[in-house]
């Protein structure tokens, strides 16, 4: 995960690690390299600039140059700031209502259906919940079928309505069905398109307004870099979602989405997807991710 970024940051900070004492020039050069590494990882310019400025201020504030192990302290400052940038603390999902309703949003191919299954499986096994998966992608019969396959695999019920082209009605009926059948979590998988378009946005906003979910999650493919951040912005403007799910972190992703998304949309990353299998789901921990990135 993020191998390229980790290597570059390691190289940038290596210069300081070896020094007993360092100069302001060392710090400035290191931060320039850090910024370059972030930009190469597809972190947007403003985020990278603000990040290195904060590290610099903190380093000067803590008198890095006069401490015994300035290199170690610099690494710690970078790690702490990276953790903050990715949200600081872990933020869980809220499952207050009964049934609790979770709405999935995102583009086609982002991993919504897969993640819906993973989340249902996670809630079932880790939190002893009884989830219901709901297929609201009325345009692609294959997507409905895919959710049924996932449901069978993890032994979770799937609600769909053949021939009904109204996703708002399906979602509403599914919640009534959940109440009648003792499901305490309802996970609504929705239609996505290949790019943000008005019709899709209106449709998901209508579903959102009708079912008032406890959690609206935005699912995004981490491989899409800056596009991931722009798409997040568009969905957040429309839905004011509660959290982000970053998928495909097992791939050769550069890291920009993970690092920038929180600072751009001000919504936490709540889960990550790390593979195609149903157990490839993790709660997002900013500090652990910063550890991984910095090695
Ligand atoms: P949807 O169109 O948003 O519902 O996306 P899908 O759930 O159908 O996922 C699209 C593709 O990405 C499928 O081939 C999934 O198996 C794959 N996929 C989803 N999540 C992950 C992940 O975390 N890692 C990897 N490697 N593949 C994933």
ipTM of the complex, rounded to two decimals? 0.99
60 is in an annotated binding site: no
Q: Which of 70-79, 144-153, 284-293 has the lowest mean pLDDT?
A: 70-79
For the Cβ of 250 lying below 6 angstroms from any atom of ligand 1, the answer is yes
Q: Whose structure tokens read 């995102």?
A: 106
For the Cβ of 113 lying below 6 angstroms from any atom of ligand 1, the answer is yes
On average, the pLDDT of the chain sits at 93
Nearest-CA residue for ligand 1 atom 27 is: 276
What pLDDT, in 10s, does the model give residues 229-266?
999 999 999 999 999 999 999 988 888 889 999 999 99
| pLDDT at residue 19 tops 70 | no
Q: Which residue has the higher pLDDT, 111 or 27?
A: 111
Percentage of the chain beyond pLDDT 90 is 75
Q: What per-residue confidence (pLDDT) applies to 63?
A: 78
Q: What per-residue confidence (pLDDT) applies to 68?
A: 73
DSSP secondary structure of 19-42: -SS--HHHHHHHHHHHHHHHHHTT
Structure tokens at 139: 């345009």
User: Which residues, at least 6 apart from 19, have a Cβ–Cβ distance to it below 8 Å?
Assistant: 26, 70, 71
| pLDDT at residue 274 tops 70 | yes
- What's the gap in Å between 274 CA and the centre of ligand 1? 10
Q: Which of 3-7, 67-71, 81-85, 209-213 has the lowest mean pLDDT?
A: 67-71
Provide mean pLDDT across the span 5-15: 88
Q: What per-residue confidence (pLDDT) applies to 128?
A: 86
39 is in an annotated binding site: no
For the Cβ of 275 lying below 6 angstroms from any atom of ligand 1, the answer is yes
Q: What per-residue confidence (pLDDT) applies to 175?
A: 98
155 is in an annotated binding site: no
| pLDDT at residue 129 tops 70 | yes
Q: Which helix (H) or strand (E) holds 15?
A: helix 3-17
For the Cβ of 8 lying below 6 angstroms from any atom of ligand 1, the answer is no
Question: Which atom in ligand 1 lies closest to the alpha carbon of residue 137?
Answer: 4
Structure tokens at 170: 């399906």
Question: Which atom in ligand 1 lies closest to the alpha carbon of residue 274?
Answer: 23
């Amino acid at each position: 995960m993020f191998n390229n970024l980790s290597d570059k940051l390691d190289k940038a900070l290596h210069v300081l690690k070896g020094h007993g004492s360092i100069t302001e020039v060392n710090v400035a050069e290191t931060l320039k390299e850090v910024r370059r590494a972030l930009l190469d990882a597809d972190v947007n310019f403003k985020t990278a600039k603000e990040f290195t400025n904060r590290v610099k201020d903190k380093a000067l504030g803590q008198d890095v140059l006069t401490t015994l192990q300035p290199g170690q302290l610099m690494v710690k400052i970078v790690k702490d700031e990276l953790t903050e940038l990715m949200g600081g603390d872990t933020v869980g999902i809220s499952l207050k209502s009964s049934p609790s309703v979770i709405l999935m949003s995102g583009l086609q191919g982002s991993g919504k259906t897969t993640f819906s299954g993973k989340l249902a499986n996670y809630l079932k096994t880790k939190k002893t919940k009884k989830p219901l998966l709901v297929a609201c992608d009325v345009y692609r019969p294959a997507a409905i079928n895919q959710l049924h396959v996932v449901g069978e695999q993890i032994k979770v019920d799937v609600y769909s309505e053949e021939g009904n082209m109204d996703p708002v009605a399906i979602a509403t009926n599914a919640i009534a069905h959940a109440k009648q059948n003792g499901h305490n979590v309802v996970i609504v998988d929705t239609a996505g398109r290949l790019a943000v378009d008005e019709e899709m946005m209106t449709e998901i906003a209508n579903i959102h307004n009708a079912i008032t979910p406890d959690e609206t999650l935005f699912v995004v493919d981490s491989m899409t870099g800056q596009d991931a951040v722009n798409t997040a912005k568009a969905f957040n403007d429309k839905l004011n979602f509660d959290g982000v799910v970053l998928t495909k972190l097992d791939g050769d992703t550069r890291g920009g989405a993970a690092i920038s998304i929180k600072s751009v949309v001000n919504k936490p990353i709540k889960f990550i997807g790390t593979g195609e299998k149903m157990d490839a789901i993790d709660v997002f921990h900013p500090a652990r991710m910063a550890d991984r990135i910095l090695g």
